[in-house]
Amino acid sequence: MSTALSPTGRRADRVRERLFVALSAVSVAVPLLVLALLLGDVLRTGLGRVDWAFLTSYPSRHWERAGILPALVGTLLLNATAAAMTLPVGVAAAIWLEEYAEAAAGRGGRARRTAMGWLARLVEVNIANLAGVPSILYGLLGLGLFVRTLGMGRSLLAGACTLALLVLPVVVLASREALRTVPDSLREAAWALGATRWQLVRRVVLPLALPGILTGTILAVSRAVGETAPLVVIGALVYLTFLPTSLSSPFSALPIQIYNWTSRPQAGFQTNAAGAIVVLLATLLLLNAAAILVRARLQRRSRA
């Protein structure tokens, strides 16, 4: 900015800038176009299939009579349970890392050599790595740990625990981000008023960070809604004629049902798959809308 530019140089720069903006616009347009095509195709084939009977029927050999009830209920229960398990654990981990361990280790990377600082660093690296682990590995972990070792069997609980593990790193990362957005000036003000660390976290940091934490969590959980691979490994079923009565019940899930229908020879089942995808998308949209609503609500309250 400090370099003086000749008029011709400026003109050339303006051309370059235009080119760059055009390129950026294309980069935005391409994925949006692909998304629109996908959505359009799915909606065109699937939307007409979604009606009350489709939502409330059990699987059938007649595609026109088949429905997604056990899969839909399974998906909702699975993700609600997973969210309930992962939220407290994830937020607590984030608070510890952000408010306690950082403080013990000294902010700004001054003293990483303390035991606490070393531990915090280890946890941090592990969480960042876990966030990138392919979901099938969580499925295998869940199979070994929850299904076999802890004797949960191929139950709803085992599936929910596996999904909870899967989204946990994302929840921790999102919560840490949210905690970091709380300005340090507020922390310092609380210190100055003689607050203890617990009071600081409880009264100042957490309320301010909550909208961000909830948004992050809901977005993380909506990632789990579409997961197929870990549920296949855990043993989600395709054909069920009853709904789960407890956490130890066998279960089905929407992605499993969709996968099964897309691989059937009859074209009618492809329509069913498209219909189920529409329902899955609607579920995701509802979740995301809920995230936005919650954030807006809490932000208004915290400003007031």
Partner 1 sequence: MHPLLLSLVLGACGEPPTEAVPPPQPVSIDGSSTVYPITEAVAEAFRAIEPDVRVTIGVSGSGGGFKKFCSGEIVLAGASRPIKKSEVDACAAKGIAFVELPVAYDGIAVVAHPTATWLDDVTVEELKAMWQPEAQGTVTRWAQIRADWPDRPFHLFGPGVDSGTYDYFTAAIVGTEHSSRGDFTPSEDDNVLVQGVATDPDALGFFGLAWYEENHDRLRLVPVEDGKPDNGAGPIAPSMETVRNGTYQPLSRPLFLYVASSALDRPEVARFLSFYLKDGRALVSEVGYVPLSDVAYELVQKRLAARTSGSVFVSGGSQVGLTVEGLLGKER
Nearest CB to partner 1, comparing residues 143 and 298: 143
Segment near partner 1 (CB under 8 A); pick from 110-118, 164-172, 195-203, 217-225:
164-172
Q: Is 127 in the site for partner 1 (CB under 8 A)?
A: yes
Of the candidates 155, 109, 128, the residue with the CA atom closest to the CA atom of residue 248:
155
Q: Is 123 in the site for partner 1 (CB under 8 A)?
A: yes
> Which position among 76, 100, 154, 180 is part of the footprint of partner 1 (CB under 8 A)?
154
Nearest CB to partner 1, comparing residues 106 and 235: 235
> Which position among 161, 170, 179, 206 is part of the footprint of partner 1 (CB under 8 A)?
161
* Rounded to 5°, angle at Cα 164 from 133 and 39: 75
Compute the least distance from the CB of residue 238 to partner 1, in Å: 5
Nearest CB to partner 1, comparing residues 135 and 211: 135
Kindly identify the residues of this chain, within the stretch 208-267, that bind partner 1 according to CB under 8 A: 232, 235-242, 245-250, 260, 262-267
Kindly identify the residues of this chain, within the stretch 173-192, that bind partner 1 according to CB under 8 A: none
Q: Is 118 in the site for partner 1 (CB under 8 A)?
A: no
Let me know: does 283 contact 75? Beta carbons within 8 Å: yes
Compute the least distance from the CB of residue 250 to partner 1, in Å: 5
Compute the least distance from the CB of residue 106 to partner 1, in Å: 20
> Which position among 73, 157, 277, 279 is part of the footprint of partner 1 (CB under 8 A)?
157
Q: How far is CA 236 from the centre of its chain?
A: 20
Let me know: does 290 contact 275? Beta carbons within 8 Å: no
Question: What residues contact 225, with CB distance under 8 A and at least 6 apart?
Answer: 75, 79, 254, 280, 283, 284, 287
Of the candidates 246, 268, 243, the residue with the CA atom closest to the CA atom of residue 55:
243
For the chain, first and last CA: distance in Å?
A: 41
Question: What residues contact 204, with CB distance under 8 A and at least 6 apart?
Answer: 182, 186, 187, 190, 195
Q: Is 132 in the site for partner 1 (CB under 8 A)?
A: no
Question: What residues contact 286, with CB distance under 8 A and at least 6 apart?
Answer: none
Nearest CB to partner 1, comparing residues 76 and 237: 237
Binding mask 134-153 toward partner 1 (x if CB under 8 A, else -) reads -------x----x---xxxx
Instruction: Tell me the number of residues near partner 1 by CB under 8 A.
Output: 52
* Rounded to 5°, angle at Cα 142 from 138 and 143: 120
Per-residue burial over 264-298, b = 16 or more CB atoms within 10 Å of its CB, e = otherwise: eeeeebbbbbbbbbbbbbebeeebeeebeebbeeb
The sign of the dihedral angle between the CA atoms of 225, 230, 231, 232 is: positive
Q: Is 168 in the site for partner 1 (CB under 8 A)?
A: yes
Query: Can you give the binding site for partner 1, defined by CB under 8 A?
Result: 58-61, 85-86, 88-89, 92-93, 119, 122-123, 126-127, 130, 141, 146, 150-155, 157, 161, 164-165, 168, 232, 235-242, 245-250, 260, 262-267, 270
